[in-house]
Amino acid sequence: MDSGGTTRPGGRAARVREAVRQATIAELGEKGFDGLTVEGVAARAGVHKTTVYRRWGGVEGLAADALDLAGGEPWPVPDTGSIQGDLRALTRLVVAGFADPELGPVSTAFIAAAMRNAPTARALRAFFAGRHEQSAVLVTRAVERGELPAGTDPAEVVRIAVAPLYYRLFVSGEPVDGAIADRAADAALAAARAGILRASRAPDDPA
C-alpha cells in the first residue's frame, strides 16, 4: 500500500490545504486578484476543482485562507539595539517586501483583494493585527531602555512608522526607497519621543 493510502484523513486534508494555499499565493503573485480562479488554483495544487469549491467556496475564500497562512509565517522582527535602528529596519523591510519580485505582487494582490470582498478584508485585518502585535516588542524594549516615554503605545508607533510607505504605494502612487523608509521611521520616533503616541493619551492633551 502506498504512503498516500495509509495517511490519516486529517493528514491528507492538511496537505491539501497547504497545497491549495501555496497555489493561491503563487497564482496571486503571477496574475493578481483579478486573475485568480478556482480552476487555476486547483490545477496548480493538483486537486479537483470541486474540492476547492466545497472547502473554500471561491476566490474570496482562497485569498482569505492564503493570507491566514502568510500571517502565521515567521517574521524577522528587528533587534538592532536602538529604537531608531529597529524602526528603520522595520520600514526598510516593508519597502524591500514590496520591491521583491515574488513577494511584492502577492502582497499587493492581498491588499487589492481586501478592498473588494469581506472575507479577505477580515483576513487582512487579522494579518496586520498580528504584525502590529509581533513588532510591539521593539517599542517595549525601547521603553525599558529609556529611549521612549513610559506608556508609549507599541502598535501605534508601528502604524505611524509604516503608514507613509503604504500611503505612497497604494494611495498617492509615489515611489518608496530606503531614504523614504528611514524618514518614515524617524518621523514616528520623533512623535513617540514627544509623547504623542502614548496609549492613554486623551485627544486634548497638548502636543
- Residues forming contacts to a second copy in the complex (CB under 8 A) are 34, 84, 108, 111-112, 114-116, 121-122, 124-125, 128-129, 132, 156, 159-160, 162-164, 166-168, 170-174, 178-179, 182-184, 186-191, 193-194, 196-197, 201, 203, 207
CA distance 199 to 148: 12
| Least Å from the CB of residue 74 to a second copy | 20
| Least Å from the CB of residue 44 to a second copy | 23
| CB nearer a second copy, residue 84 or residue 134 | 84
| CB nearer a second copy, residue 17 or residue 159 | 159
CA distance 90 to 164: 13
| Least Å from the CB of residue 124 to a second copy | 6
**Residue 197 main-chain phi, psi, to 5 deg:** -105, 30
| Least Å from the CB of residue 105 to a second copy | 12
| Least Å from the CB of residue 98 to a second copy | 12
Q: Virtual CA dihedral for 28, 31, 34, 36, nearest 10 degrees?
A: -60
| CB nearer a second copy, residue 93 or residue 111 | 111
In the block, residue with C-alpha cell 481586501: 114
| Least Å from the CB of residue 121 to a second copy | 6
Q: Is-contact 24 66, C-beta < 8 A?
A: yes
Q: In sequence order, what DSSP letters do the residues of 77-134 get, joined into one string? A: ----SSHHHHHHHHHHHHHHHHHSTTHHHHHHHHHHHHTT-HHHHHHHHHHHHHHHHH
| CB nearer a second copy, residue 53 or residue 167 | 167
CA distance 67 to 169: 19
3-state secondary structure of 152: strand
